[in-house]
Amino acid sequence: MPVGGADRVEWDILLRILPTVVVDGFVLGFVYAMIALGYTMVYGVLQMINFAHSEIFVMGAFVGAETLLILQASGLLTVLHPLALLAVVLVLAMAGSGLLAVAVERVAYRPLRGAPRLIPLISAIGVSFFLQDAIRLFESLWRNAFFLTYPTIDLFDRRIPLVGEVEISVKSLLIIVASLLMLVVLTLFVNRTKLGMAIRAVAEDQPTAGLMGVNVGRIISLTFLIGGAMGGAAGALFGVQFGTINPYSGFIPGLKAFTAAVLGGIGNVPGAMVGGLVLGMLEAFAASYMSLLTGGAFGAEYKDIFAFSVLIVILMFRPQGLLGEVVREKL
Amino acid sequence: MRNSNVRALALALYIAGTTALVASVPRSLPAFLLFLASVFLLYHLALPAWFRAAGLAVVLGVLMPYVGIRNAFYLEVATQVGIFVALALGLNIVVGLAGLLDLGYVAFYAVGAYSWAIIGSPQALKIWPEATHLLPLGGWWFFVFLAVAVVLAAITGVLLGLPVLRVRGDYLAIVTLGFGEVVRVLANNLDKPINITNGPIGITPIGRPPLFFAPVVEGLGLPATPVVLYPLYFYFMVLVVVALVIVVTQRLKDSHIGRAWEAIREDEAAAVAMGVPLVRTKLLAFAAGASFAGAMGVIFAGKQLFINPESFTFMESIGVLAMVILGGMGSIPGAILGASVVTILNLQVLKQLSLTLNAWRQAGVEILGFNLAHLPTQLEPAKYERMAFGVILVLMMIFRREGILPSARRRLELEEARQLAREEALVGGGQ
Amino acid sequence: MTRLRGVLVALVLLVTAALLVPAQAPVRAQATKGKIKIATQSPLSGGQAVLGEGIKNGAQLAIEQLGGPIKRLGFDLELVPFDDQAKPDVGVANAKNLVTDPDILLVIGHLNSGVAIPSSEVYKDSMLAMISPANTNPKITDRKYKNVFRVVGRDDVQGVVGAEFAAKEMKVKTVYIIHDKTAYGQGVAEFFRDHAPKVGMRVVGFEGTEEQANFDPIITPILARRPDLVYFGGIYNQAGVFFKQARAKGLKARFLGPDGMDSSDLAKVAGQAIVGMHYTTVAGPVSVYPRAAKFAQDYKAKFGKDPEPFAAQAYDATAIGLKAIENAIKAAGGKKPTREQVTNEIHKIKGFRGLTDTFTFDAKGDPVPATYFVINIVSGDPAKWGQNKLVKTLRINPPGAGM
């Protein structure tokens, strides 16, 4: 049923919103990219899908929220400079999530080293169930509520005009800057440092790396620490950007980010970024344009179908993802 | 020979005893679990073949319905176990035998369920309003749709399989995951422009097969109300379908197709070199796995009278996968046991646990000097069932990764892998 | 490894022990005529646990405070909370479980219409009464099951109330409708949409979304359409994020929503964005009910927070059920009544003075009349949620009542 005179395609509206949609897509894409980096990092080294990464991400969001709420309660929120606040929040969230990721690896994945690929996957799913409810348990004992809302920080909500009517908020800019920064630092770290070389060695061939004197266990822990820390930073920025979180809010972004990582070629760091951006852009376009283009017959609810369909098509023609290398694996 | 006869006698006594126990305390979960254990024992112990067959027939065909009349919930549990056994066996073909990781398996279940739900309910009239003389289809069509759904789901399986043939491993996982989501979101959204699935509101009432045998039951002097008969009816239907599925899976596994599946699971390149037709073999795995889910979807829709997209989420796929892996990948008895354990755990054991703790709380029972009544409401046990399931999954993987009942080959492989890992750890200089 | 295995074995033994001791363990050796249980079914885990817990807590408080008469008649009274996880499958499985417990004579629940509809099919088979504190979907009672009741209004009325208010009092000409793709949210949004043209409003968009966090791509086309009003058919936790992001993006339209908006959490999430918006509801804030003041206090004392929406309704639903059980015991000559007797007694209840209304049910189980409110949000501060202005109170009979 055409709704309210939308029985023809309104090209004027379509064109008018185009720049805004592009900006929306970029911001969403960078959020996915940040989470995807964590998946890809672990995958690149262990060839394992860290299904619990979405909970590690949520952990960061909760640490961030708690930090801000506690600062708010003590009246420091308005005293400190917003950027200093952000720095504190990010550092704590990264520490919290990074340590959690290391702990998860120790308890649930390390005993499974050498097992077929599906075994750690199931273990990770179990961890994911456990963590969701553990966070809820903690928050309901601590605050008697587990939906947390980030305090509003005026500077972050300010909007900067780009061109014409198009604006971008400060927090969106922060996300873009942060994820680009992460990408650069991570690439440099992996490619230019000694530890990075060790990580690459372990990724390439664990036993040989061990023989060459690399402490495999410690390198794997380090990988989880870095991947987790990035997930934590993404979680805190996600909270600042979208305002509210609960123990289950990691699931959907986690799934999307995972998709993004695969789309870009899992295990490939720039690939995660590209995959995230492609997915974010697809979603933004589908959500904004679907209804306009079909006269209301199909709407924003089809954005996931659209995104997944494109994923399937891309993988049909590039089975290794956009930037991935050809791999041969077995279950 | 003598030994096994003694065992058979003991087991017969055990079955009789537990049945009596359940009959006398119909609401006791441990009694029911002990009773269910007899099915496992019948499979597990070395028994004369005739006794095993007869025992299974008696326990599942006679005693279970009897127990189910004493406590209708047990019949529901048994039926759900059956449904998930079929799903697990289907997924076991795809994941366990052919080694194709499928994270969107419930999509096929949804296809089956929706095919009957739409045609067998007044929903059909929303699509073809002029067909009032034809639709919704009567109860007898239910059985036709069992077959239709098998075909439909198999076609869907091939449709998914075709584009996916080139992707492997985790890429395959994510594509199937995406496919599962696409099917769910479609079900959730196809209420416009044409109302096909009724969207999130779901479809009800869904037609059920006719109780053609009701006069016979009445003739026997038994109560023949639909409330009593339908659960029994669906139980037996599921039982028959599961038996069929087991036979088919066993046959497939032992056929050249089954060996081809295992070959491509072990080494695709080598399999192709040995002349295994890759495309056909993979597609067959998808189609066979999907068809079981399709049939069960129809039964599920008929049994529930109501379906909506909530029943076909990603978590559902993960649940079935967990069953296959807990039971032991590639192993038929493993998949059956895995499905039973997970379903009973979720439906009964964890529930019962939280209800018991809750009753203790209300009664103010003390444990180690701590009065449970003072337990804060945030610690309500009912809220942590999923958490407990998560812990169980992790523990299971750490301590018995080959699954509860692994196939012999799988067990050997894992043993080898473990040995290798141990050697590597030694070489690697420890951690 | 072996030590861990030992721990595992100990754990298994502990669990088994907990299972083996039957649930009816309480040691109080009291000569009672038996046990009567009241079950609640609502989501206790997952994203909607806040509201589900409110329902459970409301019922629990009612049993503790109003269970006296039944206990004096010689029965033990117990609450059995079930977690339906907001999933139809789980709700149905729980329903099949609880109907086999002959002590359960009443179900209070559910939160989600999508769960209540299939679950009540199961209750119907044994005539187990279900009183819903929260389900507004018309289908709940339109199936005319004798054992299904609710203490709140219906979405087909609520949607119309909202549309009438928007057109006549807010003087709105164009409206953009968003819903959350659930049986509830989409249902009420569709009733709003269908009535809008009848009162002269133009619907310039109708969009569903399951999105929880990022509404930017949905807001962009709304901005371009410049509607006078945005109607959100859904629940506060999702709507709050939407409203906040919409205002931040420069949307000037006014906001309106159904009873799903009713929570101070809306203010917590959306802050200043929702000041001045309206919502219709079937369950007014506790402050509009003069009789509920003590309830609010007791609730806070016991559970450490203000009552969630529907907690007072769950209290009322339980109170009605308790009264009916009491009457049924008396009618049965002091013996434990059957479920059918309890269901019959609920139908007989006339003019029951609860916290939130005075209840009489029609043949379908709808309250006659039901009360609908229009409320104006005055502050973005969650602590001031209670000061929201009651703009309009309507008492409307359910469609087809008295037939």
Mind listing the pLDDT tens digit for each residue in A177-226? 999 998 899 999 988 999 999 998 998 888 889 888 889 999 999 999 99
Given CB atoms, is C393 within the 8 Å cutoff of chain A? no
- B45 pLDDT exceeds 60? yes
pLDDT interval class at A291 (50, 70, 90) = confident
Condensed to tens digits (0 to 9), the pLDDT of residues B378-421 reads 776 667 777 888 998 899 888 888 888 887 776 777 777 777 76
Tokens of A10: 């309104």
Say if the Cβ atoms of A242 and C241 lie within 8 Å: yes
| Interacting residues of B322 by C-beta distance below 8 A, sequence separation 6+ | A122, A125, B338, B342, B393
Whether the Cβ atoms of residue B94 and residue B317 lie closer than 8 Å to each other:
no
CA pair distance A227, A216, nearest whole angstrom: 16
CB pairs < 8 Å spanning B and C: 139
Percentage of chain C modeled with pLDDT above 70: 91
A302 Cα to chain B: minimum distance (Å): 7
Q: Closest chain B residue to C2 measured between Cα atoms?
A: B399
Place of tokens 């004493």: B70
What is the enclosing helix (H) or strand (E) of C223?
Answer: helix C216-225
Those of residues 159-218 in B touching chain C at CB distance below 8 A are 188-189, 199-202, 204-205
- The half-sphere exposure of C141 on its side-chain side, counting CA atoms within 13 A, is 28
Say if the Cβ atoms of A243 and C269 lie within 8 Å: yes
CA pair distance B381, A59, nearest whole angstrom: 23
- Contacts C268 to A, Cβ<8 Å: 149
Say if the Cβ atoms of A4 and C213 lie within 8 Å: no
What is the enclosing helix (H) or strand (E) of C18?
Answer: helix C2-20
Say if the Cβ atoms of B178 and A259 lie within 8 Å: yes
Given CB atoms, is C227 within the 8 Å cutoff of chain A? no
Place of tokens 């209304």: C357
Strands B366-367 and C389-396: unpaired
- pTM across the whole model: 0.86
What is the enclosing helix (H) or strand (E) of C78?
Answer: strand C76-83
Condensed to tens digits (0 to 9), the pLDDT of residues B110-146 reads 999 999 999 988 888 888 888 777 777 778 889 999 9
Given CB atoms, is A15 within the 8 Å cutoff of chain B? no
- Contacts A126 to B, Cβ<8 Å: 389-394, 396-397
- Contacts B28 to C, Cβ<8 Å: 22
B278 Cα to chain A: minimum distance (Å): 15
* Residues paired with residue C389 on neighbouring β-strands, in sequence order: C376
CA dihedral over A272, A266, A306, C212, signed as positive or negative = negative
- A63 pLDDT exceeds 90? yes
Nearest to C93 among B76, B200, B201 (CB): B76
Neighbours of A87 (CB within 10 A): 12
> What local confidence, expressed as pLDDT, does residue A330 receive?
38
Nearest to A157 among C210, C224, C248 (CB): C248
- Contacts A312 to B, Cβ<8 Å: 163-164, 175, 178-179
Nearest to A291 among C50, C205, C250 (CB): C205
> How many helices and strands (H and E) does chain C possess?
14, 14
| Interacting residues of B44 by C-beta distance below 8 A, sequence separation 6+ | none
Say if the Cβ atoms of A291 and C221 lie within 8 Å: yes
Whether the Cβ atoms of residue C372 and residue C153 lie closer than 8 Å to each other:
yes
Condensed to tens digits (0 to 9), the pLDDT of residues C60-115 reads 999 999 999 999 999 999 999 998 888 888 899 899 889 988 899 999 989 988 89
- C165 pLDDT exceeds 80? yes
Whether the Cβ atoms of residue B43 and residue B52 lie closer than 8 Å to each other:
yes
Condensed to tens digits (0 to 9), the pLDDT of residues B315-349 reads 889 889 989 988 888 889 999 999 999 999 888 88
> How many helices and strands (H and E) does chain A possess?
12, 4
Given CB atoms, is B396 within the 8 Å cutoff of chain C? no
Percentage of chain B modeled with pLDDT above 70: 95
pLDDT interval class at A44 (50, 70, 90) = confident
* Residues paired with residue A148 on neighbouring β-strands, in sequence order: A245
> What local confidence, expressed as pLDDT, does residue A233 receive?
95
CA pair distance B404, A295, nearest whole angstrom: 54
pLDDT interval class at C174 (50, 70, 90) = very high
Q: Closest chain A residue to C46 measured between Cα atoms?
A: A248
Those of residues 275-294 in A touching chain B at CB distance below 8 A are none
Say if the Cβ atoms of B204 and C117 lie within 8 Å: yes
- Contacts A113 to B, Cβ<8 Å: 421
A329 Cα to chain B: minimum distance (Å): 6
> What local confidence, expressed as pLDDT, does residue C18 receive?
54
CB pairs < 8 Å spanning A and C: 116
Residue C310 backbone phi and psi in degrees, to 5: 80, -10
What is the average pLDDT across A61-84? 91
Chains that touch C (3 or more CB pairs under 8 A): A, B
Whether the Cβ atoms of residue C141 and residue C365 lie closer than 8 Å to each other:
yes
- Contacts B311 to C, Cβ<8 Å: 87-89
| Interacting residues of B177 by C-beta distance below 8 A, sequence separation 6+ | A255, A259, B103, B104, B314, B317
What is the average pLDDT across C287-300? 88
Q: Closest chain A residue to B100 measured between Cα atoms?
A: A331
Give the closest residue to C136 by CA, choosing from C301, C306, C280: C280
Selected for mutation to probe chain A from B191, B387, B414, B418 (highest A CB count within 10 Å) is B387
Question: Which strands form C254-257's sheet, in the order they lie side by side?
Answer: C202-208, C174-179, C229-233, C254-257, C278-281, C370-376, C389-396
DSSP state of C296: H
What is the average pLDDT across B89-105? 91
- Contacts B80 to C, Cβ<8 Å: 93
B90 Cα to chain C: minimum distance (Å): 21
C262 Cα to chain A: minimum distance (Å): 16
CA pair distance A97, A231, nearest whole angstrom: 7
> What local confidence, expressed as pLDDT, does residue C28 receive?
46
Strands B366-367 and B370-371: antiparallel
The mean predicted confidence, pLDDT, of chain B is: 86
CA pair distance A311, B181, nearest whole angstrom: 12
What is the average pLDDT across C49-69? 91
Nearest to A301 among C181, C203, C305 (CB): C181
Place of tokens 């004392």: C301
Say if the Cβ atoms of C211 and A244 lie within 8 Å: no
Strands C35-42 and C104-109: parallel
DSSP state of A300: G
> What local confidence, expressed as pLDDT, does residue C266 receive?
87
What is the average pLDDT across C229-249? 91
Q: Closest chain B residue to A141 measured between Cα atoms?
A: B378
Whether the bond into C285 is cis, omega within 30 of 0: no
Say if the Cβ atoms of B360 and C26 lie within 8 Å: yes
Nearest to B99 among A120, A297, A330 (CB): A330
- Contacts B182 to A, Cβ<8 Å: 304-305, 308-309
Given CB atoms, is A113 within the 8 Å cutoff of chain B? yes
Give the closest residue to C51 by CA, choosing from C59, C63, C43: C43
Q: Closest chain A residue to C271 measured between Cα atoms?
A: A152
Selected for mutation to probe chain A from C56, C192, C218 (highest A CB count within 10 Å) is C218
Range from A282-296, B78-92, C121-135 carrying the lowest mean pLDDT? A282-296
Tokens of C145: 């099951």
Given CB atoms, is A114 within the 8 Å cutoff of chain B? yes
Tokens of C172: 């709105």
What is the average pLDDT across B80-89? 95
- C299 pLDDT exceeds 70? yes
